[in-house]
Chain A
Amino acid sequence: METNWTFGRCLLLVEDDPSNRMTLSALLEDAGFAVVTAGSYSEAAGLLNRPRAYDAVLLDQSLGDGFGTGLIPLVRHHMPKTKVVFVTGHDGKIDMPVDAVFRKGGHFDDLLAFLFKLLPQRPLGA
């Protein structure tokens, strides 16, 4: 994996669990990403209605006041180049209109390698 490949990249992390949000955003920032977080469906919808060049949106499904899948059309409409990664702790096969699915509980290094493969070579905000 290239070094500094995360530089200039921005992620939106949508996660209603405060501990998960805090730890994952810390690791992502530590890896070099700029990270914007949303702790609920409504907060995420508000952010997505103010388009910004997110390289990827990491989306949890159960958000307390709604489901992550309900946010996908907003991303597709406002940010068609942004990758949508469904981050889930649910069992079973997931077949949703997202670019990738990542299972919760995996190693952070696996998530980094996963994002490295998924994201285009140049940051969207570059």
Chain B
Amino acid sequence: MAGRDLQARERAAVADVVASTLRHDLRNKLASIRNASFYLMRQVKKTDLWSADPRVETFFQLIERELTSAEDVLSRRAPPSTGGARPRCSAREGVEHALAQAQVPSTVTVVRELSERGGVPLEVEDLALLVRCLVDNALEAMPRGGTLTLCTRDTDAGVCLRVEDTGEGLSPEAYSRALEPFFTTRPHHAGLGLSIVHRAAVRHGWQLDLGAGPSGGTYVELVFTGSESGAHDRIDVTRGSK
């Protein structure tokens, strides 16, 4: 039952990333069309054609109107849920949920260093989904086995979750693009796991950091800033800084 719930949340998170990427890409296209149309209109206004054929102005207005309408469609979002108690869960519970769902090969040793006392402002299934994304990435980085370390601790900013592998690490280009949707260094992978985590971090204002660990593998750290007071809007995304 819990597995099905996690799968449903994973599908919803993937759909959210895909929809957001599509909205962003379409906005780029609409912006180009609007700018090009505006430029052409200003140039045509300087010519006799503008006054000779009234449909020219009408059609430019039509383009503008339809662009505005398309923008409205893109910006239409489900209203945020209101009311009810703010969710809250234990980080180690989220870690254990995620590990129970993950397919950890026998060649990988799992190390748990779970020392946090504070809570995380999420439902446990949502936290488990984020941890699962990070765990799956870490496992995929160690095809010949290694050590997967999951660490939780309290910091001044909030609970910190760190997932680290002992794989071969990422190239500088892969570090700079790792959070992009659909970016992957492995064939047959969608490249959405880190995007899901990134999107959640941006939405909640958490700090997200990834870089090379002491073994040369990759770590991802997520600090649930504002854990005690709930989510806020600061975005702080860094990478490769350690």
* B38 A108 Cβ-Cβ under 8 A: yes
Q: How long is the Cα–Cα vector from A104 to B32 in the complex, in angstroms?
A: 9
B23: CB under 8 A from chain A?
yes
CB distance from B223 to the nearest CB of A (A): 16
The segment out of B113-121, B127-135, B231-239 that lies at the interface is: B231-239
Question: How many residues on B have C-beta within 8 angstroms of the other chain's C-beta atoms?
Answer: 31
Q: How long is the Cα–Cα vector from A66 to B20 in the complex, in angstroms?
A: 19
* A41 B27 Cβ-Cβ under 8 A: no
The segment out of B143-151, B172-180, B213-221 that lies at the interface is: B172-180
Contact with B along A83-126 (1 / 0, CB 8 A): 00000011111111000000011011000000000000000000
Contacts of A90 in B (CB 8 A): 20, 24
Contacts of A26 in B (CB 8 A): 35, 39
The number of residue pairs between A and B whose CB atoms lie closer than 8 Å in the complex comes to: 74
CB distance from A27 to the nearest CB of B (A): 6
- Which A residues from 54 to 91 make CB contacts under 8 A with B? 62, 64-67, 69-70, 89-91
* A104 B38 Cβ-Cβ under 8 A: no
* A93 B34 Cβ-Cβ under 8 A: no
B242: CB under 8 A from chain A?
no
Q: When the two chains form the complex, which single residue of B27, B30, B39 contacts A27, counting CB atoms closer than 8 Å?
A: B39
In this complex, the interface size class of chain A, counting residues with CB under 8 Å from chain B, is 20 to 34
Interface of B toward A, CB cutoff 8 Å: 20, 23-25, 27-32, 34-36, 38-39, 42, 67, 71, 77, 173, 176-177, 179-180, 202-203, 205, 233-235, 237
A-B contact pairs, 19 of them (CB 8 A): A19-B28, A20-B31, A23-B31, A23-B35, A23-B39, A27-B38, A67-B176, A89-B24, A90-B20, A90-B24, A91-B20, A91-B77, A93-B233, A94-B235, A95-B205, A95-B235, A105-B30, A105-B34, A107-B38
Interface of A toward B, CB cutoff 8 Å: 17, 19-20, 22-24, 26-27, 30, 41, 62, 64-67, 69-70, 89-96, 104-105, 107-108
